[in-house]
Amino acid sequence: MTDVWRHNSHYHRLLLKAMPPNCASALDIGCGSGLLARRLAARCADVTGIDRSAEMIRQATEHGGGVTYVQADLDDWTAGPYDFVTSVAVIHHMDLATGLRAHADLLRPGGTLAVLGLARDDLPRDLPLSLTAAACSFALNWAKNGSPRYPPDPPGMPMAPPELTWAQARETTRKALPGAVFRRHLLWRYSVTYTRPLE
């Protein structure tokens, strides 16, 4: 199942709120099985999802949903610009500063970027919040999925642990994208929203 509740999908609504009015084109980077891209397509006529994993593109294409899916790496992507660019649990697979700038470069002037990222806990400082997150995650998973077991990720999804702490991710974002808004969220995620200045 691809539409079950997970930590990433929990924050899709937050990313969708960042979509600019009258959004005509959107790109989801590292689209995975396509859940967020399909949700974008319900609000935007032209949505493209890219992923470097052939298996993820295969799964996303099976679901359809009015999205154009392309197997591609961000480094090689030259289409655009876009009104809205998103990525979920992808940015920690690359150098954060370089990745954020590459995401933002795909925006048209006035376009919006919304990124959901992962960082690592700086123990013991982050232990109280991490324990709170674990309790909330268990309760939400039980309520949404009806099971004490957290659902596995789709087969073939690339995985990597985050290297930066929350503080490092925040500071890197501040330097890489002046004016971006960095927010830490409970379920081991942070968001970055950024609007490209009008030229």
Q: Is residue 101 part of a domain?
A: yes
pLDDT in tens, 11-56: 999 999 999 999 999 999 999 999 999 999 999 999 999 999 999 9
Rounded-to-integer distance, Cα 12 and Cα 88, Å: 9
pLDDT in tens, 54-87: 999 999 999 888 999 999 999 999 998 999 999 9
Q: Is residue 129 part of a domain?
A: no
Paired with 181 in beta bridges are 193
CATH at 94: 3.40.50.150
Q: Is residue 32 part of a domain?
A: yes
Q: Is residue 148 part of a domain?
A: no
Range of the domain at 168: 7-120+155-195
Q: How many domains does the chain have?
A: 1
Other Cβ atoms within 10 Å of 46 Cβ, number: 16
| Residue 4 confidence (pLDDT) | 86
Q: Does 3 score more than 80 pLDDT?
A: no
Q: Is residue 178 part of a domain?
A: yes
The answer to whether the CB of 197 falls within 8 A of the CB of 122 is no
Q: Is residue 132 part of a domain?
A: no
pLDDT in tens, 90-136: 999 999 999 999 999 999 999 999 999 999 999 999 999 999 999 99
Q: Is residue 140 part of a domain?
A: no
Q: Is residue 166 part of a domain?
A: yes
Residue type, 108: R
Taking the model in full, what pTM does it have?
0.93
Angle (nearest 5°) at CA 58 between 54 and 61: 135
> What does the block give as tokens for 19?
């979509």
Rounded-to-integer distance, Cα 185 and Cα 11, Å: 9
Q: With b meaning 16 or more CB within 10 Å and e meaning fewer, what string describes 163-194?
A: ebbbeebbebbeebbeebebebeeebbbbbbb
